[in-house]
Amino acid sequence: MFSKACEYGIKASIFIAINSYNDNRVSPKEISAEINSPQAFTAKILQALVKHNIVNSVKGAYGGFEINKEDIAKIKLSQIVTAIDGDQLLHGCGLGFKVCDEEHPCSLHDQFVFIRNDLRNMLENTTLELLAKDIKSGVSFLKL
Amino acid sequence: MFSKACEYGIKASIFIAINSYNDNRVSPKEISAEINSPQAFTAKILQALVKHNIVNSVKGAYGGFEINKEDIAKIKLSQIVTAIDGDQLLHGCGLGFKVCDEEHPCSLHDQFVFIRNDLRNMLENTTLELLAKDIKSGVSFLKL
DNA sequence: TTTATTTCGGATAAATTTATCCTTTTTATG
DNA sequence: CATAAAAAGGATAAATTTATCCGAAATAAA
């Protein structure tokens, strides 16, 4: 479903959000330790999230990654997924056709559109705030 | 969502089904021409489908790939997807955790289970017969 | 301004997926 | 039985994804 990079990106964003609520910047080292991901690869993914203005980075001593507190409730999972995996999953054809719509549907189109739309709605209605809260309250977890 | 191999596998299965209704065996060459896929790679995927008893192969002159007519209505998309991509998509965690369930849910679990279950239901309720009929009636297409 | 710290970014490597090629095996038919 | 046709299967290559390493650039603080 999601690429490894995207899985890491989602987990990292949640961890950064949690820390940002406490005005605490985190490093790739802390992030990868927390979400159980390769450090250097995680750093690359963070760069992408910074480029897409999802995460903010501060260089130099006492720097690290953070998310504006006011933004945490606004950032949708769909933004993270699109930033890392592109928009094929949210908008593309299930059988990989370049063009596939009601007018010219692939064999799976009628069955697939509902799934894709539900997935997109879920990702567009799930904010970092929502995910971070469940972690903080101990309802869900970020690593084994 | 699906791998390239899986996309080819689904398309190939539909094409074989359509031809099997007419007692016509097809070769990797015909299949890849019809579904716009690399021939040798498609042949490999067919081997996997044969191993999983989804498609039947007949070697030698006048041989080729076919599906028992009576089976076409019984073969579900979920079988093809699982045969080629494994069962991670239908049963795995959205964030890639080995264990993730109601007892010990990942951050995305509650939102993701509905999507995954809907996807699985769709794949389990979509038969080759259904897909083949829409192609034959001209409702949907197998290539651009 | 110097220093220590930290992200950025390029180069490279490993692993996996996608794709090709060629030989072997099987088998229907003449 | 000989032959031609076709799938099976192994080896290899290309492309993409995943992952590592290291020097450059930026920056806060002493």
Q: Which of B53, B55, B57, B17 is nearest to B34 (CA)?
A: B17
Q: Assess whether pLDDT exceeds 90 at residue B3.
A: yes
pLDDT > 70: percent of chain A? 100
Taking CA–CA distances from A120, the nearest residue in chain B reads: B115
Angstroms from A53 CA to nearest CA on chain B: 22
Are residues B135 and A105, on separate chains, in Cβ contact within 8 Å?
no
**Res. B61: pLDDT tops 90:** no
Under the banding of pLDDT at 50, 70 and 90, the label for residue A92 is very high
Identify the CA nearest to A72 among candidates A56, A58, A86. Answer: A56
Q: Is A143 within a domain?
A: no
pLDDT at A144: 79
Instruction: Please report which confidence band the pLDDT of residue A103 belongs to, taking 50, 70 and 90 as the band edges.
Output: very high
Backbone angles phi, psi at B135, to 5 degrees: -70, -50
Element (H, E) at B122: helix B109-125
Q: What is the pTM of this model?
A: 0.94
pLDDT beyond 90 at A51: yes
Q: Please give the Cα distance from A80 to A12 (Å, whole number).
A: 10
Yes or no: say if B14 and A107 are a contact pair by the CB < 8 Å rule: yes
Q: Which residues contact B80 (CB under 8 A, 6 or more apart)?
A: B6, B9, B10, B13, B49, B54
Chain B contacts of A138, Cβ < 8 Å? none
The residue among B107, B135, B141 with the most chain A CBs within 10 A of its CB, best to mutate, is B107
Rounded CA separation B100/B118 (Å) = 18
What does the pLDDT look like over B35-52, one tens digit per residue?
999 999 999 999 999 999
Average pLDDT of B81-95?
97
* Segment B16-20 mean pLDDT: 96
User: Is A144 domain-assigned?
Assistant: no
Q: Is the pLDDT of residue B143 over 90?
A: no
Calculate the alpha carbon distances from A139 to A86, A126, B6 in Å.
30, 16, 35
The Cα A122–Cα A100 span in angstroms is 22
Q: With an 8 Å Cβ cutoff, are A2 and B104 in contact?
A: no
Q: Look at residue A11 and tell me if it is in a domain.
A: yes
Examine residue B40 and state whether it is found in any structural domain, yes or no: yes
For residue A43, which nucleotide's C1' is closest to its Cα?
C7
Residue A79 lies inside a defined structural domain of this protein: yes
DSSP-derived letter for residue A74 is T
Window from A16-25, A135-144, B79-88 with minimum mean pLDDT: A135-144
Residue nearest to nucleotide C21 (CA to C1'): B40
Choose the closest CB to A11 out of B92, B95, B135: B95
CA of B130: which chain A residue's CA is closest?
A: A107
Q: Taking all residues of chain B, what is their mean pLDDT, rounded to a whole number?
A: 96
**Per the domain annotation, does A26 fall within a domain?**
yes
**Does any domain span residue B144?**
no
Q: Domains in chain B: how many in total? A: 1
Q: What's the CATH number where B25 sits?
A: 1.10.10.10
Closest C-alpha to A66, from A30, A13, A137: A13
Please tell me the predicted confidence (pLDDT) of residue A78.
Answer: 98
CA proximity to B24, closest of B58, B54, B52: B58
pLDDT in tens, B102-122: 999 999 999 999 999 999 999
Residue pair A83/A49 in contact by the 8 Å Cβ criterion: yes
Identify whether A58 is part of a domain. yes
Rounded to whole angstroms, how far apart are CA atoms A1 and B86?
Answer: 12
Best A89, A102, A106, A126 member to test B by mutation, with max B CBs in 10 Å, is: A106
Q: What residues make up the domain containing A53?
A: 4-136
Neighbours of A105 (CB within 10 A): 18
